[in-house]
Amino acid sequence: MRSTSLGRQLWAITQLTRLDKPWGTVLLLWPTMWALWLATEGIPPYHLLGIFLCGGVFMRACGCVLNDVCDQDIDVNVDRTKGRPLASGHLSTKTALLVAIGLAGLAAGLLWFLNRTTQWLAVIGIILTMIYPTTKRWLTCPQLFLGMTFAWGIPMAFAASGHALGYTCWLLYAATACWIVGYDTIYAMQDLEDDRKLAIHTLPKYLNGDIFWLTSGLYGVFWLVLGAIGAMLAFNHYFYVGWLFAGYLLLAQLMVLKSGHGQYLAAFKSNQWVGFWLWLGVVLGTF
């Protein structure tokens, strides 16, 4: 009986941290991987690769826990989220906070192996992660704040590689933030009808569900800036193969929005492959 109870609690923690749904973690990691390969000219040290992979997993999980702690009163009123461990009562808030502290501690331990600039940037990243779960209550476009937060691994990767945070870093950061705002706006469309009944803010709610042109603009800026970065860094033609594949996937998402068929989760998930093709383009483009 005790082992069954423990197993249920471990599964609830797995759901709380979204380790059972890894696509959010994958989306967090891709921009950091682009930045590592760019900053190190295609040869990232293995220790940096390991630190950023583990750090991304820990901080994404921690952010999910904090989000659920803040949103449990909202989640019970939304069809998609009412079964989450805190909203459903399968896990206590105290346990969730202990999990968050543990994950934050693991992530903080990795900072010991990074330089001072990266450590200070990580502090900013932690603050952003802590603030984000509250933004839907006071910010009209919480997706913008998520973009700033999710892309923060980019300046950290440049700093950890010993590079100055120059225009390439901040161009990549701004463009990636546009991509994140775009795909999270698509993701938020799933909850539009429930969100309309609640005292919270989202871009789809603000735009009354008409997100096609905003998302098109954000994706267009992202894709064109990534292409411009490739040109500035004189990447070979292999980069543009990945860039074109990524562009095709972005266009396919926009066609889903245009069709109005409501396949928002599938469109959102396809961004994992956008990230992959751009990473592969960067890797091959530096040869």
Q: Please, are residues 226 and 274 in contact by the beta-carbon 8 Å criterion?
A: no
| Residue with tokens 């396919």, as numbered in its chain | 252
The separation between CA 265 and the C-alpha centre of its own chain, rounded to angstroms, equals 15
pLDDT per position as a tens digit, 124-165:
999 999 999 999 999 999 999 999 999 999 999 999 999 889
pLDDT per position as a tens digit, 222-268:
999 999 999 999 999 999 999 999 999 999 999 999 998 789 999 99
pLDDT per position as a tens digit, 165-174:
999 999 999 9
Q: What string of DSSP letters covers 203-248?
A: HHHHTTT--HHHHHHHHHHHHHHHHHHHHHTT--HHHHHHHHHHHH
> How many domains does the structure of the chain reveal?
1
> Quick one: pLDDT at residue 177?
99
pLDDT per position as a tens digit, 65-92:
999 999 999 999 999 999 999 999 999 9
Q: How confident is the model at residue 1 (pLDDT cuts 50, 70, 90)?
A: very low
Q: How far apart are the first and last CA of the chain?
A: 57
- Going from the C-alpha of 2 to that of each of 5, 7, 88, 94, 190, the distances in angstroms are 5, 9, 21, 20, 37
Length of the chain: 287
Q: How confident is the model at residue 4 (pLDDT cuts 50, 70, 90)?
A: low
Rg (CA), the chain: 19
- CATH number of residue 35's parent domain: 1.10.357.140
Q: What string of DSSP letters covers 174-196?
A: HHHHHHHHHHHHHHHGGGHHHHT
Domain span holding position 64: 2-285
Q: Please, are residues 161 and 36 in contact by the beta-carbon 8 Å criterion?
A: yes
Across the chain, mean pLDDT equals: 95
Give dist(CA 212, CA 286) in Å, integer: 34
Q: Name, in order, each residue with C-beta under 8 angstroms of 211's C-beta and a sequence gap of 6 or more.
A: 185, 186, 189, 203, 204, 257
Which amino acid, one-letter code, is at 79?
Answer: D
The pLDDT of residue 287 is above 80:
no
